[in-house]
Structure 1
Amino acid sequence: MSLLTLIGFLVLTGAAAYAQTLTGFAFGLITMGGIGLTGLLSLPEAAMIVSVLTLVNATQMLLKGWRDVAWREFRLVMIASIPMLFVGYALLETLAGTQADWLRAILGGVIIISSLQLAKKPEPLARPSRNVSFLFFGGIAGLMGGMFSTAGPPLVYHFYRQPMPLLKIRETLVTVFALNAVFRIGLVGLSGDLPTGSAWFGLLAIPVVMAATYAARRWPPPLAAVTMRRIVFALLFLSGVSLSAPAVVHLAGFT
């Protein structure tokens, strides 16, 4: 990893950590979208580094926020998320070697759908959803987390519709992401697919993530929540299109 590449990666992860601390999500999407677009790392290596950095960000946030976690909903999500995480990781391993265009197209599509989801604030429900719905969305999140370390979109959509305080929603989401990161890191280690060589320099982003998390907590921007959502939406949508379009064109045989 060259010095310029490392600097770009540090800036990207710092921005992602800042956004996640304010919203409770978006770290994996922003980081993986930026990496997929720029080619700073291979997607499997990037997903591993993102898992570690997600865990750092979540741990720092939960030092004070763990009391606000909705533990019942958290348990339901994790029951379905953990086994599907293994399925998602297996799919990543299958596609990473010979189907790189498919991998980029899928990641780009996930990012585009997620950005469109952010563009419209979900309408809150009158009463909490049934247990089976948390199992369903937890399973989808686990699949996405296993593939790209981006478990956020389905859970963000589902939790932000629940009649519960925003603080509780944010801390619950962060806790889910933290535990998913622990399992994914362990899975990569057991599989012997740890990043090699200069990819490990990506861990130099740890102090950057910690500083960005602290800054977001200490000095949040003077922006309305809807403005922040629109900024994240625009960045994600553009990165998703830029990432998936070339892959789709290549798969269609136009190049």
Structure 2
Amino acid sequence: MDPAQLAALLALAAVAAYVQTLTGFAFGLMMMGGVGLTGIIPLAEAAVLVSILVVVNAAQVLARGWRDIAGREFALVMVSSLVFLLIGYWLLGILLKGSLDWLKLVLGTVIIVSSIQLLFKPEPLERRSGNGSFLFFGAIAGLMGGLFSTAGPPLVYHLYRQPMRAAAVRETLVAVFALNAFLRLGTVALAGQMPDRHFLWSLATIPVVIAFTQLARRYPPGISPLNMRRLAFVLLFLSGASLAIPALLKLIGDFS
């Protein structure tokens, strides 16, 4: 990785961490979308990097907040999430062996759908959803986590609709994402597919993410949370479309 690529990766991590802190999610989506557009590092390596950064962030958060984890909901989500994480990682291997355009199309579509979700505020339910719903959304989170290490959006929306304390929702999500990321890293290592030593330069993003997370907390921008969500939507939607549309057009051309 040359200095220009490293600088671009650090800038991308800084923006993603800042937006993540202000919106509640989007870090993995922005990192994967930015890497997909720029080609700074391979997408498979980007997913490994996102997993590492998620674990680092979770260690900071859960050091104090682990007592707020909703144990029952956490267990239900993880039961299905872990199974589908392996399925998602298996699907990633198939996509990597095939056309890179298929991989970009799937990633772009995931980012577009997730960005649209940012526009809708979850309406709280009067009663807790059934256990099956947690298993279902856990499965989606695991599948997305296995593919691109971006397990968040559908599960975030579902948990924030539950009649739970905000702290319990937040810490439960952090714990789910952290365990998914940790197990994904273990799966990559067991498969012998960890990146080579050149990837170590990417770990320079760790202090950048920590610094810009603190910066966003102490000095938030002078715009409303709603407008911040709208800005995040625009950034994510454009990056997703920029990935998916060219890939789709190329695939259509290949079939015709």
Output the TM-score relative to the length of structure 2: 0.94
Q: Distance in 2 between matches of 1:35 and 1:179?
A: 23
| Number of the residue aligned with 1:171 | 171
- What is the CA distance between 1:11 and its match in structure 2? 1.2
| Structure 2 CA distance for partners of 1:222 and 1:168, relative to 1, 3 Å | farther
Q: Distance in 1 between matches of 2:167 and 2:142?
A: 23
| Number of the residue aligned with 2:104 | 104
| Number of the residue aligned with 2:95 | 95
The 8 Å contact of residues 22 and 225 in structure 2, kept in 1 or not, is answered as: no
| Number of the residue aligned with 2:71 | 71
- Root-mean-square deviation (CA, aligned residues, Å) is 1.6
Where does 1:1-255 land on structure 2 (aligned, <5 Å)? 1-253=1-253
The 8 Å contact of residues 37 and 239 in structure 2, kept in 1 or not, is answered as: yes
- What is the CA distance between 1:229 and its match in structure 2? 1.3
Output the TM-score relative to the length of structure 1: 0.94
Consecutive unaligned residues of structure 2, counting only runs of 5 or more, are none
- Which AA in structure 2 matches 1:82? L
- What is the CA distance between 1:28 and its match in structure 2? 0.7
After TM superposition, the structure 1 stretch with the greater mean CA deviation from structure 2, 197-206 or 50-59, is: 197-206
Give the number of aligned pairs.
Answer: 255
Consecutive unaligned residues of structure 1, counting only runs of 5 or more, are none
- What is the CA distance between 1:197 and its match in structure 2? 4.4
Query: CA-to-partner distance for each residue in 1:57-114, whole Å, 9 max, x for gaps?
Result: 1211222222322222111111110111011001101111222110100000000000
The 8 Å contact of residues 60 and 210 in structure 1, kept in 2 or not, is answered as: no
The 8 Å contact of residues 24 and 171 in structure 1, kept in 2 or not, is answered as: no
- Which AA in structure 2 matches 1:76? L
Q: Distance in 2 between matches of 1:34 and 1:128?
A: 36
After TM superposition, the structure 1 stretch with the greater mean CA deviation from structure 2, 46-55 or 115-124, is: 115-124
The 8 Å contact of residues 23 and 170 in structure 1, kept in 2 or not, is answered as: no
After TM superposition, the structure 1 stretch with the greater mean CA deviation from structure 2, 110-119 or 224-233, is: 224-233
Report % sequence identity: 58
